[in-house]
């Protein structure tokens, strides 16, 4: 294997040396192995496969130790390194191994008691806690997940508090500001744990900030402005801690109060998924369908990186992947939630059997995409 790797490197004169490569190692929940032992065995795995052509993930291992203790080993974020798309030589690269367990208990609710009501004000995750999705909120959760894994040498675990903005408005006049204070007191308790990296996610922040504009226009009671002022005050108090990251999302950017905008270090517009992102979404869905044998027999699908390496030439191996690439291109403009539903709709609308070939399923998926755009057009014409 090592000789073959050496021969391969000689055949690839543009192999990229001396770059930092991140390797994420998902330790099984049942495993009690020491991280150092896992790192040592993962390094042996990487020594045997030291030429990579981009991101790669192992889920099956010849090594019994890895099989018993590791769910997956993933080389990630190589697109940031491969500006010229050359292969990477792991043997000369600086490897950063991040070994982590996933928390599988799911979120808990943070409740605020108001008179006889029990208000769910936020959801609380211990990170890392599972795979991210594709929307703005999911991207924030994915960022929290990634930082928790990458900074595991500094913080033992992450805490994610997703605040339900609407719950902070009390039905009782003058009580809303108190609810905000009570919510952030709970967050402060988490921040005081210096072993925790705490993420505060305020989803749809415009529902808070719009109240401020409405108050100025005379259409919103003074209690609403108390909520916004209380949130701003509490954010200013906790953001000075080194173990806190505050994240917000909004669908209506023009509604965001400038007081919030000025406090943001990074402002990032998130548009619809690109063709490459759509391809990856579809590819993950198809892998799941093949695993469940809804698509049968299993077919090899190439990644976009692998298609690019062969110059997008059509052959028996690449044909289905190129079809998926074309479907991905015509899916541009659809949101992440819709894209993940489309394989289900393709099966429900156009397939009449419990099991189907990949060719037939891709035909159905293409029809489902066409139908989605047709429905969007019809809805737009009705407005």
Task: Report cis status (omega within 30 of 0) of the bond before 297.
Answer: yes
H-helix or E-strand spanning residue 114: strand 108-114
Q: pTM for this one? A: 0.77
The fraction of the chain above a pLDDT of 70, given in percent, is 81
What are the residues whose beta carbons fall under 8 Å from the beta carbon of 4, sequence distance 6 or more? Answer: none
**Do 209 and 257 contact (CB within 8 A), yes or no?**
yes
User: Looking at per-residue confidence, does 66 or 113 come out higher?
Assistant: 66
Q: Residue ranges per domain, the chain?
A: 2-99, 108-263, 275-382
Q: Write the pLDDT tens digit of every residue in 324-344.
A: 999 999 999 998 889 999 999
User: Looking at per-residue confidence, does 120 or 319 come out higher?
Assistant: 319
At 159 the three-state DSSP class reads strand
What are the residues whose beta carbons fall under 8 Å from the beta carbon of 160, sequence distance 6 or more? Answer: 124, 125, 126, 127, 129, 141, 144, 199, 201
What's the pLDDT score for residue 269?
83
Confidence band for 256, pLDDT divided at 50, 70 and 90: confident
328, burial (CB in 10 Å: exposed 0-12, middle 13-18, buried 19+): buried
Q: Write the pLDDT tens digit of every residue in 4-29.
A: 444 444 444 455 556 889 999 999 99
Which phi and psi (to 5°) does residue 109 adopt? -100, 135
Beta bridge partners of 125: 160
Mean of all residue pLDDT scores within the chain: 84
- How would DSSP label each residue in 230-267? HHHHHHHHHTTSTTEEEEE--S-GGGS-HHHHHH-S--
Q: Is domain 108-263 classified as CATH 3.40.50.300? A: yes
Beta bridge partners of 152: none
User: Looking at per-residue confidence, does 84 or 56 come out higher?
Assistant: 56
User: Looking at per-residue confidence, does 112 or 198 come out higher?
Assistant: 198
What is the mean predicted confidence (pLDDT) over 201-230? 68
């Amino acid at each position: 294997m090592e000789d073959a790797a050496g021969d391969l490197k000689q055949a690839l004169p543009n192999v990229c040396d001396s770059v930092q490569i991140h390797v994420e190692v998902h330790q099984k929940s049942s495993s009690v192995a020491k991280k150092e032992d896992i790192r040592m065995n993962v390094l042996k795995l990487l020594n045997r496969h030291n030429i990579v052509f981009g991101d790669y993930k192992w889920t099956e291992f010849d090594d019994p130790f890895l099989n018993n203790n590791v769910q997956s080993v993933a080389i990630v974020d190589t697109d940031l390194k491969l500006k010229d798309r050359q292969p990477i030589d792991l043997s000369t690269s600086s490897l950063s191994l991040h070994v982590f367990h996933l928390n599988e208990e799911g979120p808990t609710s943070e409740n605020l008691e108001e008179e006889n009501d029990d208000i769910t004000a936020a959801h609380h995750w211990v990170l890392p806690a599972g795979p991210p999705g594709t929307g703005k909120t999911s991207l924030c959760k994915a960022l929290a997940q990634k930082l928790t894994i990458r900074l595991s040498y500094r913080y033992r675990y992450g805490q994610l508090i997703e605040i339900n903005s609407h719950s902070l408005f009390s039905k009782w006049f003058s009580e809303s500001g108190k609810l905000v204070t009570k919510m952030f007191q709970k967050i402060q308790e988490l921040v005081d744990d210096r072993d925790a990296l705490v993420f505060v996610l305020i989803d749809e922040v415009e529902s808070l900030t719009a109240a401020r504009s409405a108050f100025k226009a005379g259409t919103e009671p003074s209690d609403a402005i108390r909520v916004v002022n209380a949130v701003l005050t509490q954010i200013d108090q906790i953001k000075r801690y080194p173990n806190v990251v505050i994240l917000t999302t909004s669908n209506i950017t023009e509604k965001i109060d400038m007081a919030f905008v000025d406090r943001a270090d990074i402002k990032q517009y998130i548009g619809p998924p690109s063709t490459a992102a759509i391809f990856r979404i579809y590819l993950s869905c198809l892998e799941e369908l093949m695993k469940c044998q809804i698509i049968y027999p299993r077919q090899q699908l190439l990644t976009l990186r692998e298609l690019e390496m062969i110059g997008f030439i059509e052959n028996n191996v690449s044909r289905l992947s190129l079809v998926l690439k074309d479907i991905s291109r015509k899916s541009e403009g659809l949101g992440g939630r819709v894209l993940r539903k489309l394989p289900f709709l393709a099966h429900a609308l156009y397939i009449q059997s419990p099991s189907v070939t990949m060719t037939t399923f891709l035909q159905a998926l293409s029809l489902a995409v066409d139908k989605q755009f047709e429905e969007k057009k019809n809805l737009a014409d009705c407005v």
